[in-house]
Homo-oligomer: A and B are copies of this chain.
Amino acid sequence: MAKVRTRKSPTKQRVEKPAVTVSGTLGLALFGTKFMGRAHSIAWANAPKFFDLPLEVKMAWTAGRDASETHEFGRTWGWNGSTIDWRETLTDPTVQLVDVATPNHVHREMAIAALEAGRHVTCEKPLAGTLADAREMRNAARKAAKNGVKTFVWFNYRRAPAVALAHRLVKEGRIGRIFHVRAAYLQDWGGPATPLVWRFQSAQAGSGAHGDLNAHIIDMARFITGEEISQVAGAIEETFIKERQIVVDEAAALTGRTRGAKSKKMGKSTVDDCVLFLAHMSGGAVASFEATRLATGNKNRNCIEINGEKGSIRFNFERMNELEFWDDTRPDAIKGWTNILCTESVHPYVKHYWPPGHLVGYEHGFVSHAADIVRVLAGQSAEVPLPDFEDAWKTQCVLEAVIQSARRRRPIAVSEID
């Protein structure tokens, strides 16, 4: 029943610009059919079920690289049509929002084309693989914004109820003046047995753990504290595993984390395995960040602790439904770390899902993100702030300052980058 286009040649048709204002139905095109393609698909399919949305969501097109794979993906994950020519979807005037879920090095081209075609765009993080790409995207977003075109970036962790609650607690003043931010994103799949997939090649990935993981925790630190990272005080960029086995099957290599068909030939890894840095926040706090793929035993330990004059919070994505909160204004005898199981209807987003004590999972961050995009496009507010290209650009500048600091062996002010 799903439509499929198999022409690979770039379409030259005149792009039909839809109305910027969305009402009634929101037509969607998704670029990308891998891990993030699946996550976004489930988000667009389920958001209208869990949330009472102001617009009907129409999953119009998905675009990938291989015709039959893309068709199959579209059929399975609920997309009306599929194509291997993403530009073609911009000729469909019902498509008002483009969702870019492809590898970093193609974000720029796709996002700018969509913006220029008058489409709202929501792009996977990080904004881009390089600072130059990110700057162009930010500029395009600024220009498009004048016509009311909106941009979004999928920093999905903001919508884990516990993270959104942390944001609120800080905003309400429950933490007070912030002294410390301590963030780390630890994974362990990057050992010597993992072959040379695209994520280890700077041409496609831009960087290693840095853009993939530090992007998340920089955004999370900024989101929760409401402060900017003003200076990188020192940094380490390290590649422990210098050479990895070349992957014979290029398609396997593209799926990223698959430990696919390996050859015996070794190739050079051209990205970092880990990046650590120390920083100053705009409000005076000191901060530490670490991203690594070699922290054995840590599968997805995206964690942050914030210590303030009146309280502290701790979060770890491996227990994503929980937020630890220390309220220093309580009587001494009963002070302690309070483990808040963020499944009450008063917690952000939760009332749309299940009763107390019934957990949400990884994908629900995407579902809530999608719901908030729909709300914002219909003129309503997001439950907590949605990052746009301008916002993601700030995170990108921090990423760049870190690399500069590591390579030039000195502190770098983020203002030197922008």
A12 to B148, CA, bound (A): 58
Question: Which residues of chain B have C-beta atoms less than 8 A from A332's C-beta?
Answer: 344, 346
Question: Which residues of chain B have C-beta atoms less than 8 A from A326's C-beta?
Answer: 296-297
Out of B277, B295, B325, B337, name the residue touching A312 (CB < 8 Å).
Answer: B295
A277 to B235, CA, bound (A): 9
A94 to B192, CA, bound (A): 53
Of the candidate stretches A41-49, A83-91, A96-104, A133-141, the one touching chain B is A41-49
Smallest beta-carbon distance A258→chain B, Å: 10
In contact, B288 and A276 (Cβ under 8 angstroms): yes
Of the candidate stretches A108-116, A261-269, A313-321, the one touching chain B is A313-321
Of the candidate stretches A62-70, A354-362, A368-376, A388-396, the one touching chain B is A354-362
Report copies per complex.
Answer: 4
Question: Which residues of chain B have C-beta atoms less than 8 A from A168's C-beta?
Answer: 333
Interface flags for A177-188 (1: CB within 8 Å of B; 0: not) read: 001101010111
A382 at the interface (CB under 8 A from B): no
Smallest beta-carbon distance A157→chain B, Å: 11
Instruction: Select from chain B the residue with minimum beta-carbon distance to A330.
Output: B338
A284 to B238, CA, bound (A): 10
Smallest beta-carbon distance A247→chain B, Å: 18
Question: Which residues of chain B have C-beta atoms less than 8 A from A192's C-beta?
Answer: 309
In contact, A320 and B359 (Cβ under 8 angstroms): yes
A93 at the interface (CB under 8 A from B): no
A136 to B297, CA, bound (A): 43
Instruction: Select from chain B the residue with minimum beta-carbon distance to A280.
Output: B236
Out of B182, B186, B240, B409, name the residue touching A410 (CB < 8 Å).
Answer: B409
Out of B182, B273, B284, B318, name the residue touching A290 (CB < 8 Å).
Answer: B182
A308 at the interface (CB under 8 A from B): yes
In contact, B35 and A46 (Cβ under 8 angstroms): no
A388 to B78, CA, bound (A): 31
In contact, A278 and B234 (Cβ under 8 angstroms): yes
Question: Which residues of chain B have C-beta atoms less than 8 A from A383's C-beta?
Answer: none
Listed residue (A292, A305, A357, A411) with the most chain B CB atoms within 10 angstroms of its CB: A357
Out of B76, B169, B179, name the residue touching A240 (CB < 8 Å).
Answer: B179
Instruction: Select from chain B the residue with minimum beta-carbon distance to A35.
Output: B355
A359 to B160, CA, bound (A): 11
In contact, B312 and A296 (Cβ under 8 angstroms): yes
In contact, B363 and A362 (Cβ under 8 angstroms): no
Listed residue (A280, A292, A332, A359) with the most chain B CB atoms within 10 angstroms of its CB: A359
Smallest beta-carbon distance A417→chain B, Å: 17
A132 at the interface (CB under 8 A from B): no
Interface flags for A204-219 (1: CB within 8 Å of B; 0: not) read: 0000000000000000
A58 at the interface (CB under 8 A from B): no
In contact, B362 and A362 (Cβ under 8 angstroms): no
Question: Which residues of chain B have C-beta atoms less than 8 A from A184's C-beta?
Answer: 182
A334 to B175, CA, bound (A): 13
Instruction: Select from chain B the residue with minimum beta-carbon distance to A238.
Output: B286
In contact, A340 and B336 (Cβ under 8 angstroms): yes
Smallest beta-carbon distance A123→chain B, Å: 20
In contact, A307 and B278 (Cβ under 8 angstroms): no
Question: Which residues of chain B have C-beta atoms less than 8 A from A347's C-beta?
Answer: 333
Given A235-B278, A318-B357: A307 touches B299 (CB 8 Å cut-off)? no
4 closest Cβ pairs, A-B complex = A234-B234, A300-B357, A299-B357, A297-B326
Could you jot down 9 A-B contacts, CB within 8 Å? A179-B273, A179-B294, A234-B235, A257-B355, A299-B343, A301-B357, A335-B338, A361-B363, A361-B364
Given contacts A234-B411, A297-B337, 14 further A-B contacts (CB under 8 A): A42-B46, A49-B77, A165-B333, A179-B295, A186-B307, A189-B356, A234-B234, A236-B278, A238-B286, A299-B356, A335-B344, A336-B338, A359-B359, A410-B410
